[in-house]
Amino acid sequence: MPQIEGPFQVSLSPQPVHAQAEGAFGRMALDKRFEGALEASGRGEMLAAMSAVKGSAGYVALEKVEGALDGRRGSFLLLHRGLMDRGAADLSIVVVPDSGTGELQGLSGRMRIDVREGGAHFYHFDYELPDAS
């Protein structure tokens, strides 16, 4: 299974939420730029909620990634699920099954995110593609 990693930049833009959800949830537009073996842009939507306990929160997001993965062009969707339990993180980011297009048809995999000192973001992507070595 190929494993790649590299830096990415992310910006979050607050968006309005449904009137009944105001105060309970926050909604953000995601805008990402991946570098390295994944040379791509990502656009998505995130819905988050914080509890009354410091360090406890949850989020879900869907993201469309478009560009090149190890030289193969296309797009795919990522599903994010994140929990913080009093500061302990539990994050899952997976490729939505059968969401690959172009040369990325059949893509499956999982992504991890590493935020390093100073706030630099890095991705680690374990993936499988038909006919990929």
Residue-wise pLDDT tens digits, 91-113: 999 999 999 999 999 999 999 99
- Do the domain assignments include residue 133? no
118: left (phi over 0), alpha (psi -120 to 50) or beta: left
List, in order, residues 6 or more apart from 75 with CB less than 8 Å away.
64, 65, 66, 67, 99, 100, 101, 102, 104
Please check whether residue 71 is in contact with residue 59, taking contact to mean a CB–CB distance below 8 angstroms.
no
The parent domain of residue 79 ranges over 3-128
What is the pTM for the complete model shown?
0.92
Check pLDDT > 80 for residue 121.
yes
- Do the domain assignments include residue 112? yes
Please check whether residue 109 is in contact with residue 87, taking contact to mean a CB–CB distance below 8 angstroms.
no
How do beta strands 38-50 and 26-34 pair? Answer: antiparallel
pLDDT tier for residue 132 given thresholds of 50, 70 and 90: low
- Do the domain assignments include residue 107? yes
CATH of the domain at 65: 2.40.350.10
